[in-house]
Amino acid sequence: MCQLLGMNCNVPTDICFSFEGFATRGGKTDDHKDGWGIAFFEGKGCRIFLDAKPSIASPIADLVRGYPIHSTHVIAHIRKATQGEIALLNCHPFQRELWGRYWVFAHNGDLRDFSPQSQKFYQAVGNTDSENAFCFILERLRQYFPDRKPPLKELYSVIKDTTKTLADKGIFNYLLSDGEHFFAHCSTKLCYIVRQAPFAAAHLIDQDMTVDFRELTTKSDRVAVIATTPLTDNEVWTQISPGELLVFQDGVPLNL
Amino acid sequence: MCQLLGMNCNVPTDICFSFEGFATRGGKTDDHKDGWGIAFFEGKGCRIFLDAKPSIASPIADLVRGYPIHSTHVIAHIRKATQGEIALLNCHPFQRELWGRYWVFAHNGDLRDFSPQSQKFYQAVGNTDSENAFCFILERLRQYFPDRKPPLKELYSVIKDTTKTLADKGIFNYLLSDGEHFFAHCSTKLCYIVRQAPFAAAHLIDQDMTVDFRELTTKSDRVAVIATTPLTDNEVWTQISPGELLVFQDGVPLNL
């Protein structure tokens, strides 16, 4: 199994504080040490840092910790391998292009009963259930909407149906984004928090570190952080219900 | 215009020395300061570092300079924008998946007369002639070989023809790889060197730095470095002829 971390905001924000706690779980406070990765959208552009080393021992994770990259859509993952060997090609998040946009995906779980068929458009490069599931979702979207991204309600409906098909095969918590919309699916374990004015201080669970968001924010800022388990011990995190697929935009889950 | 740097080897090798000289051209010894990027294959896996900042002022370039990532196929690019704004989404190298492999592409030149048509499989995310040309090549390959990667001779033939079509539209020096084969096309300016036993010392042009490869190599190592212009001043670089498309494997250009 693995752990997920996501962030969606209304203004580009750095994820250094959350990543600090999260990365600690990659071999120090927890045993998700079979690689890690993080994707940052900047508009339609996207950059992904990947490493097959544990996040606590990775020079690239040190860079991400120390270099504040501002983004509105971030997806991070620390891996504890269930399917697929420990190697760069099996590190999440995975990326593909659809409708002239990059799509990025990371998964926590295990789809034991999923036997991926050969797809027409998208093939997995590695050998994880996760990358195959991602390809399966994008394939479906292309079949339904060959030419362009549909309105959100139609998009949501197909992703929801496809997710249900896959979630029936095992455990399927995931984060998915194209830099415009941010999907978060809970199969067994996923929670979130929305930080907005009035801001307060937050304290990490995984190490003794506090940030006072009052000093770093403006009144109109809004940031949603989504994670497998809460990252802070003095804030109230909302558990997403099993089977629920949320869509975040501008730092808040939409009512669909 | 931009500059290209590539490396292809028979054993995983770090590119720190060549990148040191190359990155200096991103704003110090030359004016290619509109972003940069570098892709490293590890088997079928691939990781790309991108930044819209000049390579001489990028913390991510500092990481790449200081952290020896060992790879057999590397493609790097420093950008001087001709088409498309300075932004992450227009930084090379670009990446797509074809036949269950990642393909990576970087371009030096300007395809002024190229009007990209909408493609069936691959769409550009940014707005450079380069990314559109890459999508055009992959689209052709998919049309010719829908199911799997063909033998090299057939693959080469289609890439060669498609390259000619594009090179007729402007300047089209490029590097292209899927982690197995490494294509280098010269339209106006591209050269390479093959380093193998007996190894010697090499001295950079762009800064006063020497590496003695005798201390770092074994007898069987072989490394090809491909670049827009030579990176060292005490070695003999081979100019690739305009119109020539080379394929490197295990550190040497193949006879096709």
Residues of chain B with pLDDT under 50: none
Q: For chain A, say whether B46 makes contact (Cβ under 8 Å).
A: yes
Q: Do A48 and B48 touch (CB under 8 A)?
A: yes
- HSE (side-chain half, CA atoms, 13 Å) at B34: 17
- Give B62's contacts (C-beta < 8 A, 6+ positions apart): none
Q: For chain A, say whether B119 makes contact (Cβ under 8 Å).
A: no
In a domain, residue A166? The reply is no
Instruction: Provide the ipTM.
Output: 0.94
Give the count of Cβ contacts less than 8 A between chain A and B: 87
Confidence category of residue A65, pLDDT binned at 50, 70, 90: confident
Q: What pLDDT, on a 0 to 100 scale, did the predictor assign at position A84?
A: 86
In a domain, residue A153? The reply is no
Q: What pLDDT, on a 0 to 100 scale, did the predictor assign at position B115?
A: 85
According to DSSP, the β-strands at A222-227 and A191-196 are antiparallel
In a domain, residue A18? The reply is yes
In chain B, the number of structural domains is 1
Q: What pLDDT, on a 0 to 100 scale, did the predictor assign at position B56?
A: 87
Q: What pLDDT, on a 0 to 100 scale, did the predictor assign at position B73?
A: 98
Q: What pLDDT, on a 0 to 100 scale, did the predictor assign at position B216?
A: 87
Q: For chain B, say whether A79 makes contact (Cβ under 8 Å).
A: no
B46 catalytic per annotation: no
- Residue A235 lies in domain: 3-107+173-253
Residue type, B256: L
Percentage of chain A modeled with pLDDT above 90: 80
Q: What pLDDT, on a 0 to 100 scale, did the predictor assign at position A172?
A: 98
- Give B52's contacts (C-beta < 8 A, 6+ positions apart): A42, A45, B34, B35, B86, B87, B88, B90, B91
A169: left (phi over 0), alpha (psi -120 to 50) or beta: alpha
What tokens were used for B207?
A: 């800064």
Confidence category of residue A51, pLDDT binned at 50, 70, 90: very high
pLDDT over 90 (residue A26): no
Q: Do B101 and A49 touch (CB under 8 A)?
A: no
Q: What pLDDT, on a 0 to 100 scale, did the predictor assign at position B55?
A: 86
- HSE (side-chain half, CA atoms, 13 Å) at B86: 15
What tokens were used for A35?
A: 């690689």
Per CB-CB distance under 8 Å, the chain B contacts of A87 are: 42-43, 45
Contact A71, A7 (CB under 8 A): yes
pLDDT over 90 (residue A120): no
Q: For chain B, say whether A44 makes contact (Cβ under 8 Å).
A: yes
CA dihedral A105, A107, A113, A117 (to 10 degrees): 20
Q: Do B50 and A50 touch (CB under 8 A)?
A: no
Average of per-residue pLDDT across A109-138:
92
In a domain, residue A161? The reply is no
Per CB-CB distance under 8 Å, the chain B contacts of A45 are: 50, 52, 87-91, 125-126
Q: What pLDDT, on a 0 to 100 scale, did the predictor assign at position B169?
A: 96
Q: What pLDDT, on a 0 to 100 scale, did the predictor assign at position A106?
A: 98
Q: Which residue of B has its CA nearest to A45?
A: B89
Confidence category of residue A7, pLDDT binned at 50, 70, 90: very high
Q: What is the pTM of this model?
A: 0.96
Q: Which of A48-52, A111-115, A171-175 has the lowest mean pLDDT?
A: A111-115
Confidence category of residue A3, pLDDT binned at 50, 70, 90: very high
Contact A224, A193 (CB under 8 A): yes
Confidence category of residue A256, pLDDT binned at 50, 70, 90: confident
pLDDT over 80 (residue A255): yes
Q: What pLDDT, on a 0 to 100 scale, did the predictor assign at position B71?
A: 97
Looking up residue A45, the CATH number of its domain turns out to be 3.60.20.10
Q: For chain B, say whether A124 makes contact (Cβ under 8 Å).
A: yes
Q: What pLDDT, on a 0 to 100 scale, did the predictor assign at position B120?
A: 87
> Could you read off the pLDDT of A180-228 as tens digits, one per residue?
999 999 999 999 999 999 999 999 999 899 999 988 889 999 999 999 9
Cβ of B220: how many Cβ atoms within 10 Å? 9
pLDDT over 80 (residue A1): no
- HSE (side-chain half, CA atoms, 13 Å) at A107: 25
In a domain, residue A145? The reply is no
Q: For chain A, say whether B105 makes contact (Cβ under 8 Å).
A: no
Tell me how close the Cα of B239 comes to any Cα of chain A, in angstroms.
33
